[in-house]
Homo-oligomer: A and B are copies of this chain.
Amino acid sequence: MKERVNAYDVAKRAGVSQSTVSRVLNNYSHVKKSTRERVLAAVDELGFTPDEIARSLANNKTRTIGLIVGNISNPFYAETAHIILREARDYDYDVIIVDTDSDESSFDRSIQTLIGKRVDGIIVASVRKDNKKISELFKLNFPIICYNRKVDDDRNTNFVVVDNKQGAKMAVNHLIQLNHQRIAYISGPCTYSTFNDRFLGYQSALKENGIDYDKRLVYQNELSFDKVFQFSLDLMRNQNRPTSFFASTDHIALAVMDAAAQNGLHIPYDISIIGFDNIDIASSPYIGLSTISQQKKKMASLVLKELIAIIDKKSDQLIQITLEPELLIRKSTGMNTQIRNNR
C-alpha cells in the first residue's frame, strides 16, 4: 500500500502550515481567499483525503453509529437497516451493523466492541428483556436507544417501539370478527418484549371475547422455520384443528403458509393466517398476507433522528415513544367456514 498523503504534505505543497490546511478543510472563517485556494489546489493535486481516525481521536467524534439487529437476513431487520443506512448517510454518519444472529450471549460483548470503536451512539433493534447493559450505559449518559424491542428496566432507557400488545389484540380481534374461535398463536420466546407483549395481547383479546385460552394452540419457542413448520403441520392435522393462525412475525407466517399448502389447506377458505411486521413481500399479491404494520419507515426514521439529537445534545430527556400499530387486511384472512366443534 502506497504511503498515505497527510495534511503536512498538503501544507508543504501549498507553502503553508499544517494548521492552515486544517482550517481550510474545516471551513474556518478567517482564512485569506488566496491561501484557501492554494490549499484546495494542493489537496486536489495530491488527492488528499483526511484521516477520519486521527480526526476522531482529536475531536472525540467518529460520525459512526452502531446498529444491533437480530438477524439481518430476516426481512424486518433488513428493511429497517435499509432505511437507517440511507438516512444516516444524509446525516453524514456511517453505520456498523452487528448481527447477533439471535445469539444473545454475545450481546454485551458486541456492545463493548462498538464502544471500543467509539461509535457516537447505538440503536439496539434486538435485545432480551432482561438485559442490564443498556440501562447501565444510559446512566453513563451514552447515547443509546432501543428500537422495536425494549428492556424491562424501561424507566432507564430510551426506546421507540410499536404498541405490540395493542397490535396483537387488533390481529386477534380481526380473526374473531371473521368468526374464528380456535386461533393458534405462533411466537418466539417471551424473553423478548415483542413476543411477550404480543402474547399478552393475544390472551387479552381472547378473554375479552369469552374464548378460553388453549395452550395446545400456542407455540412459544425459537422461531426456526423447520420447527414452526412442523408444529403448524401437526396442529393442522389435528381433528379439532384451529381455523386460524396468528403468527407473531410475517417472516414466520410464511412457514405457517407453507404448512397449510403442504396440508392441502387453502388460504383463506380453509384456514386464515395473519402476521405481524408488514415486511415488504407480505404486500405482494401472490402472498397477500394480512398483518399488523409497525410503520417501519416512520419508526426507523424516528429512532435515527432521536439518536442523533441525543448525540448532538439537542435533547437530553428520556425518549420513550410508542407508536400505534395498524391492521392491514389482505387476502390471507377470511370468514371461518368450518363447523365449530370445539365447545
Q: In whole angstroms, how far apart are the Cα atoms of A287 and B78 in the complex?
A: 20
Question: How many chain A residues touch B (Cβ–Cβ < 8 Å)?
Answer: 56
Q: Is A286 an interface residue (CB 8 A)?
A: yes
Contact of A82 among B95, B99, B114, B284 (CB under 8 A): B99
Asked if B101 and A86 make an inter-chain contact with CB atoms under 8 angstroms apart, the answer reads yes
Contact of A286 among B89, B257, B284 (CB under 8 A): B257
Expressed in whole angstroms, the Cα–Cα distance for A77 and B254 within the complex equals: 20
Q: Which of A113-137 contact B (CB under 8 A)?
A: 113-118
- Among the stretches A30-38, A47-55, A200-208, A215-223, the one at the interface with B is A47-55
Other-chain contact of A116, B51, B257, B281 (Cβ < 8 Å): B51
Interface residues of A in 60-82 (CB under 8 A from B): 62, 64, 71-73, 75, 77-79, 81-82
Q: Which residues of B contact A260 (CB under 8 A)?
A: 286
Q: Which of A191-245 contact B (CB under 8 A)?
A: 225
Contact check, B117 vs A52: say whether CB atoms are below 8 A apart: yes
Given contacts A57-B57, A72-B78, A78-B72, contact A142 B51 (CB under 8 A): no
Contact of A94 among B72, B73, B106, B113 (CB under 8 A): B113
Binary per-residue interface labels of chain A (307-331) against chain B in the complex, 1 for a CB within 8 Å, 0 otherwise = 0000000000000000000000000
Q: Are B72 and A99 in contact (CB under 8 A)?
A: no
Asked, given contacts A78-B73, A113-B94, A254-B286, whether A53 binds B56 with beta carbons under 8 Å apart, the answer is: yes
In the complex, per-residue mask of A242-282: 1 if CB is within 8 Å of any chain B CB, else 0: 00000000000011011011100000000000000000110
Does B280 contact A281, Cβ atoms closer than 8 Å?
A: no
Residues of B close to A190: CB separation below 8 A: none
Q: Which B-chain residue is minimally distant from A140 (CB atoms)?
A: B2
Report how far A116 CA is from B62 CA in the complex, Å: 11
B72→A81 contact, CB < 8 A: yes
CB within 8 Å of B: which residues of A? 1-2, 49-54, 56-57, 62, 64, 71-73, 75, 77-79, 81-82, 85-86, 89, 94-99, 101, 106, 112-118, 140-142, 225, 254-255, 257-258, 260-262, 280-281, 284-287
Given contacts A49-B112, A51-B116, A94-B96, 18 further A-B contacts (CB under 8 A): A51-B118, A54-B57, A57-B57, A64-B117, A72-B72, A73-B78, A73-B81, A73-B280, A78-B78, A78-B81, A81-B99, A94-B98, A97-B97, A225-B284, A257-B284, A260-B286, A261-B285, A281-B281
17 pairs, A vs B, C-beta closer than 8 Å: A49-B112, A50-B116, A51-B57, A53-B57, A53-B117, A72-B72, A72-B81, A72-B82, A73-B81, A81-B99, A85-B97, A85-B99, A86-B99, A89-B106, A94-B114, A95-B97, A96-B97
